[in-house]
Amino acid sequence: MTAKKIIVGYDRSPEARAAAAWALDEAARTGALVEFFYAYEWPTWAPAASTVPSPAVWPDGETDRAIKGALQEAVTEARQTHPQVRTEVSIVNASAALTLIDRSAEASLIVLGSQGHSAVTGMLGSVSVAVSAHAHCPVIVVRGDNGHAGPVVVGVDDSPCAQLALAFALEQAAERGAPVRIIHAWRPVSGIWEDSPLVTREVTDQERRPFDELVAAWQQKYPQVTITAEAVVDHPAHALAAASTTARLLVVGTRGRGAFRGMLLGSVSQHLLRHSACTVAIVREVAGS
């Protein structure tokens, strides 16, 4: 992967530290610069009457010094653990989600913790969903035990974003010397046809053929990567969450929902952000696309 910059949301929480460690390891492999990012999301309202006392709507000096100190501490620790990695810090007084989405156009990866103390790394709210759904580069949500030596797992279907996810997964695996496990899950038939004798709950050879051809084509592009392919009848969210328990990285694509309408991810992506046992990569676009 030709990485330019990795932006990591940082607030000094354990989850943010895990995100920083993941980003620094990735930068050590790719030569990327790591930017430690923090966004103040302070109230923007103030009383209409100027005679009414109102609280400060921007951080006071003590808070500002504490945030800058935390980011500088992260840079100092990075120099000790990853001396070859270039780092910088960024603090903005703006929306975390909007800023990260805008900045993602100039980044190779956005890396965030699964939880945290700020709007940047409190990942299971609107910020995580919005950034994952609308970023112009892959978004990494660091979860679970990142020392796992399992495969890179990628979920695919017949959509263009699944192709992007597959490409990202194989590139990550090639860099790490890891195998890839590709899962295509067909949703089970439900409703009035569920108990029909015509429903076998197995993927037919005809249904599987395009999937096998896709896997074969990617194997030719990455002959150095060991690839296994599974076609299953299961809900994709369930199949991928189960696979995450033995994976080092879980990769999925997302179509997003366009122009912030609800800031929504697909149901599979949202489920995995909450329930994956390992770090999740959400791929909507790739850097520079």
Mean pLDDT of 88-104: 91
**CATH code for the domain in which residue 63 is found:** 3.40.50.620
pLDDT at 48 (0 to 100): 52
Higher pLDDT, 286 or 193: 286
Distance CA 158, CA 49 (A): 57
Decide if 52 is inside a domain.
Answer: no
Q: Do the Cβ atoms of 230 and 182 come closer than 8 Å?
A: yes
Are 99 and 117 part of one and the same domain? Answer: yes
**Is the domain of 204 the same as that of 95?**
no
Domain extent for 21: 1-46+57-142
State whether 134 and 156 are in the same domain. no
- Evaluate if residue 262 carries a pLDDT over 70: no
DSSP strand pairing (139-142 vs 280-283): antiparallel
pLDDT at site 168: 96
CA atoms of 37 and 26, how far apart (whole Å): 17
pLDDT digits (tens, 9 = 90+) for 106-135: 999 999 988 644 444 433 446 777 888 889
Q: Regarding predicted confidence, which is higher, 233 or 191?
A: 233
91 C-beta neighbours (distance < 10 Å), count: 14
The predicted-structure confidence for 219-234, as pLDDT tens digits, reads as follows 999 999 999 999 998 9
**What confidence score (pLDDT) does residue 284 get?**
84
pLDDT exceeds cutoff 60 at 94: yes
Check whether residue 195 and residue 238 sit in a common domain: yes
Alpha-carbon dihedral 118, 120, 123, 128, rounded to 10 degrees: 150
pLDDT of residue 61: 76
User: Is 99 part of any domain?
Assistant: yes
pLDDT given at position 96: 87
- Number of folded domains in the chain? 2
